Structure 1
């Protein structure tokens, strides 16, 4: 006797949560996501259909396979995955579970999904992210991105959060998660630390300006000497 799974016919698509890495196409015209485990080599868009990562011809999600889009019921459970070292730069996705799906104790495995919201964590320095910047790795044709504040971009390929949402399309919302508190929420010790950091940055900029001035001045003197010899 073949056992059949109970069927559900919800009036609205179920909501699930997962983590993924944000990626940007090599030419900078498309934004997508890539999984953190199974199927991580296959970037997917905001609205996407699953395919079997093993190359089998059945329709995902198959009962005897791991194919399909995976997500969990509880947002907190997905956020917990961001604590591991290899997932620190991933983003938290809220998805609509579409098409056929299999419900498990902790989540779903579905044929389709729509990413509704992507929540970007703080920059590595702890400040609230303002952009997604080149993370230093990727997939063929795709650059992986990591959260970054404006102060830590330092010339890396990057895209502001709003621009990433526009490139991804299909109504995606991209929001910055918790980062360093604003000045209005800080006490005297925290403000003193912020002031010290700002002063250190100003000192660094001043040093660079002095070095540039010395180089330009030195170059001018050497140029004059060469002209005299001619």
Structure 2
């Protein structure tokens, strides 16, 4: 006798959580994500259909395969994955599970998804992130991005959270987690502040863009000050000789 899983027909798409690395296309016109394990070589957008990473001609999620998108039910379980060394620069995604799916004890394996919310963690130095910068690795045609504060930008290719949301499109929201769970008036539950949306530039988006521009200006001013000091030192040395 062949056992069958019970069929589910939810009135609205289930919600799941996962982690991924944000990526930026080589020409800087598109933004998306890449997984941290199975299928990590296949970047995907905000709305995407899964494909079999083994190249088999069946529709994900196949019962006898590992193909399909993966997510967990519990947000805390997804956040725990960010503690692993290889995942420290990843972001947390809140997704809508679309199409066919298989439910497991801890999560889903499914055919289609929509990324609704992206939560960006702190910079590697521990400060609150104000941008996503070139992480120093990537895939063919795609640069991986990592959270970064204004003080650590140092002229690297960067994108504000609002800019990432705009390039990713499809109504995705990008939020920045406040360090230590704190925050100002615009901070929501869990110390997370919404700073990006794809439907135009509002006040939060403009504030984020201004913070990024200010951080770049501070970096350039610091470099100019160093060059002036070198120039002054060289000039005084020539006079003394």
The TM-score, its normalising length taken from structure 2, stands at 0.78
TM superposition shift of 1:209: 2.7
Query: Quick one: distance in 1 between partners of 2:222 and 2:39?
Result: 48
- Change in Cα spacing, 1:210 to 1:26, as seen in structure 2 (3 Å) is closer
Matches of 2:134 and 2:225 in 1, distance apart? 27
CA distance in 2, matches of 1:121, 1:207: 28
Q: Tell me, what secondary structure is at the counterpart of 2:155?
A: coil
Structure 2 counterpart SS, 1:110: strand
* Cα separation, 1, equivalents of 2:183 and 2:17: 28
Q: Which residue is 1:65 aligned to?
A: 65
CA distance in 1, matches of 2:107, 2:11: 18
Gaps of 5+ in 1: 184-201, 223-230
User: Aligned to 1:129, what secondary structure does the other structure show?
Assistant: coil
Q: 1:7 to 1:149 in 2, by over 3 A?
A: same
Residues 55 and 211 of structure 1: CA distance in aligned 2, closer, same or farther (over 3 Å): closer
Q: Which residue among 225, 229, 237 is the counterpart of 1:209?
A: 225
Aligned equivalents of 1:38, 1:217: Cα separation in 2: 55
Aligned pairs, number: 203
- Runs (4+) of structure 1 exceeding 3 A deviation are 180-183, 205-208, 216-222
Shift of 1:178: 2.8
In 1, the alpha carbon distance for the partners of 2:55 and 2:230 equals: 62
Q: CA RMSD in A?
A: 2.5
1-side partners of 2:82 and 2:32: how far apart?
Answer: 19
Q: Could you list the per-position Cα deviations for residues 65-121 of structure 1 after superposition, in whole angstroms to 9, with x for gaps in the alignment?
A: 000000000000000000011000000000000000000000000100000000000
Summarize the Cα distance change of 1:179–1:55 in structure 2 as closer, same or farther, 3 Å threshold. Answer: same
Corresponding position of 2:147: 147
2:129 corresponds to: 129
Matching of residue 92 in structure 1 with residue 92 in structure 2? yes
Deviation at 1:2, TM superposition (A): 2.0
Alignment partner of 2:79: what SS?
helix
Summarize the alignment of residues 168-207 of structure 1 with structure 2, pairs less than 5 Å apart: 168-179=168-179
Larger Rg: 1
What is the Cα deviation at residue 220 of structure 1?
Answer: 11
Calculate the TM-score normalised by the size of structure 1.
Answer: 0.82
Unaligned runs of 5+ in 2: 185-217
Residue pair 1:123, 1:179 contacting (<8 A) in 2 also = no
